[in-house]
A = this chain, B = another copy of it.
Amino acid sequence: MVRAIAPQEVTPLPADPAEPTTGRSRKLNATSYVVLGMLSFGPATSYQLKQRVGRTIGNFWAFAHSQLYDEPARLAAAGLVTRTTEEGGRRKRTYEITDEGREALAEWLAEPTLEQTEVRDTGLLKLFFCVGASPEDIRRLAAQRYQSHRDRADGYDQQRAEIEEMADRWQLKTLELGMRYERTVEKFWKDLMEELDREPP
């Protein structure tokens, strides 16, 4: 449909066997940039990455903790981060972004964003297939989703109060969109509940 831009993004491979060897072998994905981005705030272990992510973007885009162990390793292989292994104890690994890593991140930030936003909402799927469901099921669905989005929005409100002066401007903006989104969806389900309640049983 609107995919006119797609063919453009097919980066012509080196093709040359005398590969310049500057690394950057595998194409980076969203997970990669999340790790790079978090590391751009300072070195961290995988666990710390997990925490940083969990408190922020993990709210709307979740990552399994194992991803945050795997991905830095891949990035290290590509030379975008370095790994320092602690000597004693559990030999825990701290990752730090390299100049090349920063460059990759900057490129990504500068390049056009073509991907469409994906909203993976099981409740919404269910609503679409509701034809055969009972009214009570729908009512329950609406009630649950309402509660869920309301909780999340409230959580954001609280978070904002806590981080307001330490977080950076764009991070607060991110939070704000998160809130607007949750409030929108919360209201949708509430409206739906009210509509259902106004109906003859």
Contacts and interface: CB of A to CB of B under 8 A. Distances in A.
Interface string A139-150: 011001100110
Assembly of this chain: how many copies? 2
A2 B147 CA distance: 13
Interface string A74-118: 000000000000000000000000000010011011101101111
| Residues of A contacting B: mostly | helix
Interface in A120-166: 120-134, 137-138, 140-141, 144-145, 148-149, 151-152
Interface residues of A, number: 64
A131 B174 CA distance: 12
A122 B113 contact: yes
Contacts of A144: 112-113
A34 interface: yes
Contacts of A152: 116
A125 B177 contact: no
A62 interface: yes
Contacts of A131: 40-41, 168, 170
Interface stretch (A6-14, A15-23, A65-73, A178-186): A178-186
Interface of A: 2, 30, 33-34, 37, 40-41, 56-57, 60-62, 102, 105-106, 108-110, 112-113, 115-134, 137-138, 140-141, 144-145, 148-149, 151-152, 168, 170-171, 173-174, 176-177, 180-181, 184-185, 187-188, 192
